[in-house]
C-alpha cells in the first residue's frame, strides 16, 4: 500500500491578514479545520505541520496529537522564500511514496474531495505524474493590453457557453519527492488538473476572504 504524507506549511506572520493561520475561525484556530480534514482521509498515512509559530506548535501538540510537527529552520522563515524550498526541507525529513500539500487557508475543503483526488491519482499514476487542483472559470478575460484571452469580442457568447479556462487554486497538490527535487516544482511533466467546486475552493488571502469563508462555513454547518 502506497504511503501518502499530507503537508500543511504555515508561517507565524502574515502580511495581509494578521495571524490568519491561527486566528479564531468560528471558534477554532483556522488551521484546525484543514488538519482535521486531512486526518479524516483514509488514504493519508500521516499529517505534517511545518511552522515557525510557537502558537501553532503549542496548539497542535495539545489538541492534534496524531499530527507530526516540524519546526521550520530559521533560514526558511522569510516570507520571500519559495514554497518549494520549504517543501524540499520537509520531504528530506519525512519519507513517503507520495506527498499531498495544502494550506490552512482552505477551511471549506472537504475530506471527501481530498480523498477523491487521491483515489483518482493513485488509479491513474504514472499516466499522470502529479496532480493539482483548479477552479473552472467561464468568464470573459482580458490581458493588460485589452486583448481578449479566452473569447472573441465580436461573437458575444453567453458566459456559460465560453470554453472553460482553469485557475490554479492552491487547494491541493500531489507529487513525488523525485519531481520536487528534479523540477524544483510540485507539478510534474504530466499533471492532472483536478477540478474543485468553487465553494470548497474559497481561499483566504485578504480580510474580505476571511469574512466570506467564515460566514459560508457557518451557514453550511447549520444546513448540515
Q: What is the mean pLDDT of the chain?
A: 96
SS3 of the chain: the string is: CCCEEEEEEECCCCCCCCCCCCCEECCEEHHHHHHHHHHCCCCCCEEEEEECCHHHHHHHHHHCCCCEEEECCHHHCCCCCCHHHHHHHHHCCCCCCEEEECCCCCCCCCHHHHHHHHHHHHHHCCCCCEEEEEEEECCCCECCCCCECCCCCCCCCCHHHCCCEEEEEEEEEEECHHHHHHHCCCCCCCEEEEECCCCCCCCCCCHHHHHHHHHHHHHHHHHC
What's the pTM? 0.95
| Mean of pLDDT values over 104-113 | 97
Give residue 224's pLDDT band: very low, low, confident or very high (50, 70, 90): confident
Whether 103 maps to a domain, the answer reads yes
Whether 185 maps to a domain, the answer reads yes
**Which residue range(s) make up the domain with 52?**
4-132+167-223
Nearest one of 92, 107, 80, 131 to 8, comparing CA atoms:
107
Whether 159 maps to a domain, the answer reads no
Quote the pLDDT of residue 23.
Answer: 96
Whether 16 maps to a domain, the answer reads yes
Q: Residue 31 belongs to a domain with what CATH number? A: 3.90.550.10
Quote the pLDDT of residue 169.
Answer: 96
Quote the pLDDT of residue 15.
Answer: 80
Question: pLDDT digits over 136-190, tens only?
Answer: 999 999 999 999 999 999 999 999 999 999 999 999 999 999 999 999 999 999 9
Quote the pLDDT of residue 27.
Answer: 96
Quote the pLDDT of residue 144.
Answer: 97
Give residue 54's pLDDT band: very low, low, confident or very high (50, 70, 90): very high
Whether 138 maps to a domain, the answer reads no
Give residue 223's pLDDT band: very low, low, confident or very high (50, 70, 90): confident
Whether 154 maps to a domain, the answer reads no
Instruction: State the total domains in the chain.
Output: 1
Q: Percentage of residues in the chain with pLDDT exceeding 90?
A: 93
Whether 23 maps to a domain, the answer reads yes
Whether 139 maps to a domain, the answer reads no
| Mean of pLDDT values over 72-83 | 94
Quote the pLDDT of residue 217.
Answer: 96
Task: Determine the Cα–Cα distance for residues 102 and 109; give it in Å rounded to an integer.
Answer: 10
Q: Is the pLDDT of residue 11 over 80?
A: yes
Amino acid at each position: 500500500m502506497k504511503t501518502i504524507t499530507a503537508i500543511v506549511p504555515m508561517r507565524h506572520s502574515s502580511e495581509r491578514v494578521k495571524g490568519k493561520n491561527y486566528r479564531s475561525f468560528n471558534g477554532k484556530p483556522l488551521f484546525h479545520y484543514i488538519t482535521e480534514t486531512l486526518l479524516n482521509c483514509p488514504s493519508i498515512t500521516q499529517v505534517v505541520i511545518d511552522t515557525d509559530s510557537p502558537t501553532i506548535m503549542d496548539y497542535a501538540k495539545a489538541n492534534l496529537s496524531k499530527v507530526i510537527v516540524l519546526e521550520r529552520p530559521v533560514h526558511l522563515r522569510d516570507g520571500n522564500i519559495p514554497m518549494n524550498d520549504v517543501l524540499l526541507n520537509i520531504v528530506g525529513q519525512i519519507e513517503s511514496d507520495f506527498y499531498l500539500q495544502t494550506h490552512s487557508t482552505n477551511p471549506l475543503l472537504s475530506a471527501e474531495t481530498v480523498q477523491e483526488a487521491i483515489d483518482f491519482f493513485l488509479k491513474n499514476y504514472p499516466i499522470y505524474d502529479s496532480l493539482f487542483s483548479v477552479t473552472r472559470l467561464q468568464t470573459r478575460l482580458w490581458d493588460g493590453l485589452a486583448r481578449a484571452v479566452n473569447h472573441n469580442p465580436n461573437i458575444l457568447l453567453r458566459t456559460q457557453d465560453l470554453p472553460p479556462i482553469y485557475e490554479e487554486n492552491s487547494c491541493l497538490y500531489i507529487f513525488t519527492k523525485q519531481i520536487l527535487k528534479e523540477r524544483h516544482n510540485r507539478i510534474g511533466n504530466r499533471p492532472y488538473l483536478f477540478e474543485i467546486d468553487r465553494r470548497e475552493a474559497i481561499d483566504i488571502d485578504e480580510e474580505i476572504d476571511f469574512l466570506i469563508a467564515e460566514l459560508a462555513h457557518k451557514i453550511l454547518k447549520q444546513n448540515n
